[in-house]
Amino acid sequence: MKNSKFKKVLALMFIAIMILSFTGCSGSAQEEKALTKIEKIKESGKLVLGTAADYPPYEFHKVIDGEDTIVGFDIDIAKAIADDLGVELEIMDMKFDGLLPALVADKIDIIVAGMVPTEERSKTVDFTNTYYNAEQSILIKAENKDKYLTKADIEGLVIGAQKATIQEDIAKSIEGAEVKLLSKITDLVLELDSNRVDGIILVKPVAMAYANSNSNFFVPEISYGVEDGVAAAINKGNEDLLEDVNVTLDKLMSEGAIDKFIDDATKLAEQE
């Protein structure tokens, strides 16, 4: 009889321990789940930026003090966002068409890469307020500057553009154009320099940066309109981070800091 009661007590104790263990694990999971995106970023001590650093003056590689460094006005903006969050900025340089998948997979926290918030992109990520608008232009060989003067002169040519961008859509809209798409701007510039494409659709600041740094290139007075504006991208469900980034962007714009970032980055991109 006593043995039977003892077994029942042991069984009840075992059940109680299991319940407490489960509750403890469940509580830990709930606590972790309750962390907001900003809390996770602050806990890690870093904001992971995704960008495609072949797009001067937005973001590009520059040797500074003998060290390869990613610079540009988008990088300055991202640094300001990280500073306001009280964390370090970690930069992940990747192909432009890999940025959105990386953000959705939570491999990066934010994209600042001259990205236009299109309706299609907005289906998978959220965008901040726009912080810059630029004219769409074309980069050609300097030897053709008297030949390609109007949009009509560009029709039927081999036109390059970066994959998964607004510029791809523009290139495809050019009458009779053969469109060549690559992931990196630097590869497109090599194609132009080797006469494998006749022109590259780029936003004007980027086109001018390449033309100013290489006399082989030229930017004609041909406009393909003004983009809707570029914005930072954040994974859906992170309204806290979205709100804080918008506060930083509004502050930078009201102080004129972004204009200074653009001016400094443009000058840096033009330096040998």
Both 129 and 245 in one domain: the answer is yes
Looking at the domain assignment, is residue 224 inside a domain? no
Residue of 216, 215, 103, 217 whose CA lies nearest to 202: 217
Strand order in the sheet with 199-203: 178-182, 158-162, 199-203, 136-141, 217-218
Both 86 and 212 in one domain: the answer is no
Residue 165 CA from chain centroid, whole number: 12
**Between residues 25 and 270, the one the model is more confident about:** 270
pLDDT band with cut points at 50, 70 and 90 for residue 2: very low
Both 120 and 234 in one domain: the answer is yes
Looking at the domain assignment, is residue 155 inside a domain? yes
Both 129 and 160 in one domain: the answer is no
Looking at the domain assignment, is residue 22 inside a domain? no
pLDDT band with cut points at 50, 70 and 90 for residue 69: very high
Residue of 260, 244, 246, 156 whose CA lies nearest to 199: 156
Q: What range defines the domain where residue 168 resides?
A: 136-218
Both 161 and 84 in one domain: the answer is no
Q: How many domains does the chain have?
A: 2
- Asked whether the CA dihedral 246, 97, 204, 121 is positive or negative, the reply is negative
**Between residues 183 and 19, the one the model is more confident about:** 183
Both 127 and 233 in one domain: the answer is yes
- What percent of the chain shows pLDDT beyond 70? 88
Both 74 and 209 in one domain: the answer is no
Both 104 and 152 in one domain: the answer is no
Q: What is the pTM of this model?
A: 0.79
Both 64 and 118 in one domain: the answer is yes
What's the CATH number where 102 sits? 3.40.190.10
Looking at the domain assignment, is residue 97 inside a domain? yes
Looking at the domain assignment, is residue 189 inside a domain? yes
Looking at the domain assignment, is residue 16 inside a domain? no
Mean pLDDT over 256-260 rounds to 94
Q: Which of these three, 218, 237, 254, is where a domain ends?
A: 218
Phi, psi of 116, rounded to the nearest 5 degrees: -90, 130
Both 210 and 259 in one domain: the answer is no
Q: Are strands 54-55 and 59-64 parallel, antiparallel or unpaired?
A: antiparallel
Both 104 and 162 in one domain: the answer is no
Looking at the domain assignment, is residue 14 inside a domain? no
Looking at the domain assignment, is residue 223 inside a domain? no
Both 180 and 207 in one domain: the answer is yes
pLDDT band with cut points at 50, 70 and 90 for residue 41: very high
